[in-house]
Structures are given as C-alpha cells and as structure tokens.
Amino acid sequence: MPLFSKTDEQKEAQKAEKAERTRIEQEQRAARAAEAQARAAAEAQRIAALEKWEYQTLRIPHPLRQAGKLNRSDLEKALAQAGAEGWEAFSFFPNIDLYAETDGALVLCKRPAAKKPPPQP
C-alpha cells in the first residue's frame, strides 16, 4: 500500500465535499438568475409606467412676421389653439429653413399619448 493512498472514508468525504460545493454553486447560480429576472421585470414595469407622449410640430410661417418681427398675437392664437387640443409647447425655433415648406418659426409640441386598452385574450 502506497504511503499517500487515501482510505475509502477519505475518498467518500472528498466526494461528499465536492457534491456539497456543487450544490451550493448551483443554488448561488439559481439565486443570481432569479435576481436578474426580478430586476428585468422591475425595469419592464418601470418603463411601462412611464408616461407615453405624442409629438407635433407647429409651423409659424413668415407671413406672421411684420417688419422682421414675429406677430405675437398671431403666435399666441396659434399656441392657444394647439393648447386647446392638449398640446404643450416645449421648444421654439424662431427662424428655420424648412425643406419643401414655407420657412418660418417652428414650435415643438407634445401631449400625453392616448392610453391604449390592454389586448384582449
């Protein structure tokens, strides 16, 4: 019998230790996977809860300008009409060259998107 040979008890103990380590590693992997899945579900829920928006551009043509200045009353009427339809102006470009349209001022507007009912099963 060699000097360093292991007894059957030592071999069994090593097998049991290895099996225990494997079990613990599997449990840890499963726990990490469950945590990742929970984080993904929470992020999906957070994104779904964010308010959805729709956008519109409101073009104010140069004819609303008089002597190089924007006619404020006409601009206010255009904005009031958009506001009455639920649009909120959030950005204004006073002088912009618009492709294939009359140049003028451009107002970016947004409003909450209409809530869509959940799909029917």
State pLDDT tens for residues 46-64. 888 888 899 998 887 765 5
Check: CB of residue 110 under 8 Å from CB of residue 88.
Answer: yes
State pLDDT tens for residues 4-13. 677 888 888 8
Residue-range domain boundaries for the chain: 8-50, 53-112
State pLDDT tens for residues 70-116. 667 877 888 899 999 999 999 988 777 666 666 677 889 999 988 66
Is 111 strand, coil or helix? strand
Question: How far does Cα 41 stand from its chain's mean position?
Answer: 14
pTM surpassing 0.75?
Answer: no
Report the 10 Å Cβ neighbour count for 105: 20
The residue among 56, 70, 54 whose CA lies nearest residue 103 is 70
